[in-house]
Chain A
Amino acid sequence: MTKRAPDVSASPPRRRSKYTLAPLVLIAANVVLFALFFVWPAVIGLVYSFTNYTGVGAFQFVGLDNYQHLFGDSTFFDALTRTLLYTVLFVPLNFVFSLLIANVLVSKHAKGVSVARVFFFIPWLLSPIVVGVLWRWLFGENFGLVNYVIEKLGGSAVPWQSNADLSLLVVVVAASWAWTGFSMLLFIAAIKNVPVSYYEAASLDGAGPWRQFVSITLPSIAPTSFIVILLNTIHAMKEYPLFASLNSGGPGTSNNLLVQYIYQTGFKSGQIGYASAASFVLMLILMAVAIIQLVVNRRVENR
């Protein structure tokens, strides 16, 4: 990956050893940070996951106890299933909307694209905390705009906060709203790289816009689609601030997700060892997601 331009690699090999000090000086700061805040925590995290460490004092190795407990812990399983459900709902919704919007934005027929783009982009700038506050305000059960409109249209107020499933749904909508800007940017770049001649040829053959989209755009942007799905899946698996500010994982604890579970066991109850074990389960899931997507991606590209 660090291959240099051909003219340089063609020069005599002894040049290589000539420059060791300069690059090492240049990366020194990051090497220190990497060791301190990545390698060290990763190692002690793995070690602590086999102990009953509470953050202070002595600790004992307890073998796989933490992991065994974890698999017998219904709170953990609830958090895990809720996280997976959230991911399964959020990722497709975000995908469809950002792809739709990217296509409309590159269309030469649409007017006012440059202004409209700002509307899609601003939500991505907002912090998850503010996004949560904003949707909490919109979906308030007694005061929110959404219920007001529903009642005006003759419906009855919907329990957006007190029904666990609806409450999760609001977070899903809020998250896809907020993340459209990011996915959309990736899609726009990908769509613009599709050679125009493909469309011209298809158009001569009488293919309509939908046919062109399905047969040309979609296959051409497949690699980007995978990246979008991968990034959004990983993002969704570690969502926390949005839940914290939108419904605090509520009603009750029904929408506590994995990161919140880790936060609460680790920092509220001081079970660092146990929380570390939960973290490693999350890590394994994230790595599995990444590996599956890499394999699928490679298979698609080789076809």
Chain B
Amino acid sequence: MSATWADAPTWLRRSLVALVVLVLLTPVFALAAGAVGYAEPLENVAEATGATEHERTLLSSPFPDYSVAGTGTVVGTLVSGLVGTAVTLLVAVGLGRLLDRDVDT
């Protein structure tokens, strides 16, 4: 990942542009999901069988529910999208590096 933008293969540059586009779309979808009242099937089952009251949060996360304290849906989602996408990229590349074939030796 030490290569510069111009040295990167075309597919990689295009992929990174696509990532930015996806992140920019996240606030739009967050607003739309909020408008219809977002609920996943698992939440509906938990509701139906009374498991909801057992739900606990054991670890406080920096961006709970993809939001940023003190900001609205648009900014919170956008920041979460940017941070999450970047951190996932770094985690996966780090993992890949650990398993990388040692080409030089």
Is B truly associated with A?
no
B contact residues vs A (CB 8 Å cutoff): none
A contact residues vs B (CB 8 Å cutoff): none
